[in-house]
Homo-oligomer: A and B are copies of this chain.
Amino acid sequence: MRLTQHTDYGLRLLMYVALKNGQRCTIREAAESFAISRNHLMKIANLLQHHGVLNATRGKGGGLQLAKPANTLRLGDLVQTLEPDMALAECLGENNQCVVTSQCLLIGVLSDALHEFLRTLNQYTLEDICVPKQSELRSLLQIELVTAE
């Protein structure tokens, strides 16, 4: 059982954007800071923008910003948005061929556990995983905030 790299990259990107404190950041910049594929991150940014989590503006001076305050973005919801597929077992996805589906008691147990997993994640927001260590994280990611004048 693992989350796709896609999902983790998405969360990393959101952490990056949140750590910029409202200042726009480009995808290129985030990809370089994390030393990960820019192309890949592009698609993730796009997905998050379509889901109303990120605002993306094109053109010179453009970039990404959070579409909502970091303390309203719950991690369980973000994981559900980012994961391509949360079908734990065959019967929970498409093309189910399992012969015991109609009477299987395991389905409910698995759904229950998945629910607890997401519920636990939803006890935390993007803010919770950024703010307490913001200076350390900014340093690791070489984020320098431009001070207003």
Q: Name A residues whose Cβ lies closer than 8 Å to a Cβ of B.
A: 1-3, 5, 8, 11-12, 15, 33-35, 75-76, 79, 83, 85-90, 93, 97-100, 102-106, 109-110, 112-114, 116-121, 124, 128-130, 132-133, 136-137, 140-141
How long is the Cα–Cα vector from A89 to B15 in the complex, in angstroms?
15
Given contacts A105-B128, A120-B113, A1 and B99 within 8 Å (CB-CB) = no
A90 touches B8 (CB 8 A): yes
- CB-CB under 8 A from A133, the residues of chain B are 103-105
A3 touches B5 (CB 8 A): no
How long is the Cα–Cα vector from A1 to B86 in the complex, in angstroms?
5
Given contacts A85-B1, A90-B8, A132-B105, A33 and B99 within 8 Å (CB-CB) = yes
Max count, chain B CB within 10 A of own CB: residue among A2, A12, A76, A136: A2
B132 touches A99 (CB 8 A): no
Given contacts A97-B35, A99-B140, A117-B114, A90 and B11 within 8 Å (CB-CB) = no
Other A-B contacts than A1-B88, A100-B141, A106-B129, 11 sampled, CB-CB below 8 A, are A1-B1, A1-B83, A3-B110, A8-B89, A8-B90, A33-B99, A75-B106, A75-B109, A100-B140, A102-B140, A105-B128
